[in-house]
Amino acid sequence: MEEKDKNKKTEEELKKDTDENEELSLDDSNKENDTDDEKDYVTREINLDDLYDGAINNTVVIDPITNKEVLMSNKKPNYTILGVALAIIILLLLYYLNNKSSFGRKTTDVEPNTTVNTRTTQDIESEYGTLTCTYKSNSDAESQDVTYTANYENSQITTTSFNYVVISNSNNNTSAVIEDLKTQYETFFINNASVSGNTVSFQSNGAGFTFSVETNYNRTGFDGLNVVDGQTILYVKPSKDDTVDSLEDAYQNKGFSCSRTNTSE
| First vs last C-alpha separation in the chain | 176
Q: What is the pTM of this model?
A: 0.53
Say which amino acid occupies 163: N
If one compares 224 and 100, the residue with the highest pLDDT of the two is 224
| pLDDT for the residue 62 | 74
pLDDT in tens, 1-54: 555 555 555 666 666 666 666 665 555 555 555 555 555 545 555 555 555 444
- Asked whether the beta carbons of 200 and 192 are under 8 A apart, the reply is yes
Q: How many residues in the chain?
A: 265
| pLDDT for the residue 54 | 46
pLDDT in tens, 142-160: 999 999 999 999 878 999 9
Residue 212: pLDDT band with limits 50, 70, 90: very high
Helix (H) or strand (E) holding 154: none
Residue 133: pLDDT band with limits 50, 70, 90: very high
For residue 31, report the phi and psi dihedrals to the nearest 5 degrees: -65, -40
For the segment 190-208, the average pLDDT, to the nearest whole number, is: 91
Q: Which domains does the chain have, with CATH numbers?
A: 29-74 (no CATH), 126-264 (3.30.1830.10)
Q: What distances in angstroms separate CA 138 from CA 5, 9, 22, 23, 205, one per listed residue? A: 201, 195, 176, 174, 19
Residues 6+ away with beta carbon under 8 Å from 133: 147, 148, 149, 247, 248, 251, 252, 256, 257, 258, 259
- Asked whether the beta carbons of 202 and 189 are under 8 A apart, the reply is yes
If one compares 231 and 109, the residue with the highest pLDDT of the two is 231
- Put the strands of the sheet holding 46-47 in their side by side order: 46-47, 59-62, 69-72
If one compares 216 and 23, the residue with the highest pLDDT of the two is 216
- By mean pLDDT, which of 3-7, 19-23, 75-79, 233-237 is the weakest? 3-7
Beta-sheet pairing, 69-72 with 59-62: antiparallel
Flag whether pLDDT at 121 surpasses 50: no
Flag whether pLDDT at 78 surpasses 50: yes
- Asked whether the beta carbons of 117 and 98 are under 8 A apart, the reply is no
- By mean pLDDT, which of 16-25, 60-69, 129-138, 197-206 is the weakest? 16-25
| pLDDT for the residue 60 | 67
Mean model confidence pLDDT for the chain? 78
